[in-house]
Amino acid sequence: MVQTYYKTRIDQTLKNLDKIKDTLPDFCDKFFIGIQGRTSPLTRLGYAFDLKIFFDFLIKKEICKKSEVKELTLKDIDGITAFDLEFFLDYLNSFEYNEKSLQNGECGKERKLSAVRAFVRYFYKKDLLKQDIGSKVSSVRVKQKNIVKLEIDEVVKLLDMVELGTYSVSNHQKKYLEKCKFRDLAILTLFLGTGIRVSELVGIDEKDIDFENNSFCIVRKGGNKTILYFNEEIANTLKQYKSWKVKNFDNTEQKAFFISMRGTRLCVRAIENMVKKYSLLVAPLKKISPHKLRTTFGTNLYKETQDIYAVAEVLGHKDVNTTKKHYAEISEEIKRLAIQKIKLRDKNK
């Protein structure tokens, strides 16, 4: 049986998790087993990394009198105070880890605080810690960032540029881009027309595309399979790419739909670099990534439907509040426009 892309990715994540767990105190195994049923392997990997930094902080700052992380016990953790946790958040502004100088902004601090809170809460509920210090520390206030997206004219310019080859690059680059244009155009239209994540796009196999119904199957975050739909414009670019692929890679055994020029499955980094390369030519002042193309789609869908629940469903947000948070600015614009349509007295009558 051929190992699927997602199974391979999960297996690698679990291997990386085991490596970090081996460097953590033994009692951490109970925590990771306890949260296994309600978290993804990627979430647990993030927790492990963040907890290791927290434990490293406890040793370096001599909050716990141990010489290395592996020696920590739950009794040591029980001696930590809410003030120590606030000290940790301050420490994250600039710190040394594995001989590297690191800095965390609001998002990084909040993520690490969430990891520590989950860890402490678990052992508190199991009556192995006397207090839940995480509940005594205020969340980090994460500033709402402005929405970065492509405007409609920039989207048109981007797609026309890739399709027609009207980019200002060297002859050597132009020859390479010309070879990739059907693939790159298909990827960009799929991002802009469906709002899928880059990890979801990378995982699409040949069997996942259904041109009869203009639909395709993806695996969302958390491992759930979902069927999404695309319009005729996207269908045409996908069919053009597939024809090009069959012509140039007819002997490949690769099951992936989107492949590199070597015939292997495209990786996330390669797609990120491709999006960045093209977007810089049409919007040099914007840092456009696959996620920003997803934002572009979400914004356009919200403006068209004015239905935040529909947007959340299509984007695959489990919590509609996540969608509201990202598109609050657009929501305000819609409310301002809607109120102008209310007429109390029609003076033309």
Instruction: Identify the helix (H) or strand (E) that includes residue 282.
Output: helix 268-282
- Letter for the amino acid at 264? T
Going 64 to 65 to 67 to 72, the CA torsion angle's sign is negative
Element (H, E) at 210: strand 209-210
pTM, two decimals, is 0.80
Any idea which residue has 């041109």 for tokens? 211
How far, in Å, CA of 57 to CA of 63, rounded? 8
HSE of 347, CA atoms in CB hemisphere, 13 A:
0
Task: State the residue for tokens 């996207």.
Answer: 234
What single-letter DSSP state applies at residue 143?
P
Quote the CA–CA distance of 197 and 47 in Å, as a whole number: 22
- Superfamily, domain 152-338: Intergrase catalytic core (1.10.443.10)
Do the beta carbons of residue 43 and residue 86 sit within 8 Å?
A: no
CATH 1.10.443.10-classified regions of the chain: 152-338
> Closest Cα to residue 288, out of 185, 192, 200?
192
Q: Give the C-alpha separation, 333 to 70, whole Å.
A: 53
- Alpha carbon separation from 347 to 274, 336, 340 (Å, rounded): 56, 22, 15
> Looking only at Cα atoms, what is the longest distance across the chain?
84
Place of tokens 């399709």: 163
Q: How far apart are CA 221 and CA 211, in angstroms?
A: 24
User: What superfamily would CATH give domain 5-136?
Assistant: Tyrosine recombinase, N-terminal domain (1.10.150.130)
State the residue for tokens 């980094």: 269
- One pLDDT digit (tens) per residue for the chain, 349 residues: 345 788 888 999 999 999 999 999 999 999 999 999 889 899 999 999 999 999 999 999 999 999 999 999 999 999 999 999 999 999 999 999 988 999 999 999 999 999 999 999 999 999 999 999 999 999 988 777 777 889 999 999 999 999 988 877 778 778 888 889 999 999 999 999 999 999 999 999 999 999 999 999 998 877 788 899 999 999 999 999 999 998 888 765 668 999 998 888 999 999 999 999 999 999 999 999 999 999 898 888 888 887 888 888 888 877 777 777 666 666 556 556 655 666 566 656 5
Residue 187 · residue 274 · CB < 8 Å: yes
In the DSSP assignment, the letter for residue 4 is P
Q: Please list the residue range(s) of the chain that carry CATH number 1.10.150.130.
A: 5-136
